[in-house]
Amino acid sequence: MTRGWCPSVHAPMPSGDGLLARVKPPCGRLPAAALCAIATSARRHGNGIIELTSRGNIQIRGLTAASAPRFAAAMVAAGLADPDPARESRRNVITIPPCDDARVAAIEDMLAAIPGLAPKFCIAVGPAEADITVIGDTIWAEGQSYGFSLETLFRLTQQANGRRLQPTPISQPASAGLLLALPFGQTNAAAFERLASLTDDARTTPWRALHIPAQTDPSPYEAAGFITDPADPRRSIAACPGAPACASGAAPARADALRLAGLGIRDIHVSGCAKGCAHPRAALTLVGRGGRYDLIPHGRAADAPALAGLTLDQTISYLAKS
pLDDT of 62-78, one tens digit each? Answer: 999 999 999 999 999 99
What's the chain's average pLDDT?
85
pLDDT of 260-302, one tens digit each? Answer: 999 999 999 999 999 998 887 899 999 999 999 999 999 999 9
At residue 212, what are phi and psi to the nearest 5 degrees? -105, 115
On whether residue 285 sits in a domain, the answer given is yes
On whether residue 200 sits in a domain, the answer given is no
How many domains does the structure of the chain reveal?
1
Q: For the ranges 98-102, 272-276, 302-306, which has the lowest average pLDDT?
A: 98-102
Please give the share of the chain, as a percent, with pLDDT higher than 90.
60
- Judged against a pLDDT cut of 70, whether residue 156 lies above it is answered with no
On whether residue 252 sits in a domain, the answer given is yes
CATH code at position 245 = 3.30.413.10
How confident is the model over 143-151, as a mean pLDDT? 46
Beta-carbon contacts of residue 322 (< 8 Å; ≥ 6 apart): none
How confident is the model over 102-130, as a mean pLDDT? 76
Of the candidates 54, 63, 58, the residue with the CA atom closest to the CA atom of residue 25:
58
On whether residue 23 sits in a domain, the answer given is no
Which amino acid does the sequence have at 8?
Answer: S
Could you list the residue range(s) of the whole structural domain that residue 292 is in?
Answer: 234-321
How confident is the model over 189-205, as a mean pLDDT? 96
Sign, CA torsion 300/301/302/305: positive
Instruction: Count the helices and strands in the chain (H runs, E runs).
Output: 9, 18
Please report the pLDDT score of residue 162 as a whole number: 40
On whether residue 33 sits in a domain, the answer given is no
How confident is the model over 242-271, as a mean pLDDT? 93
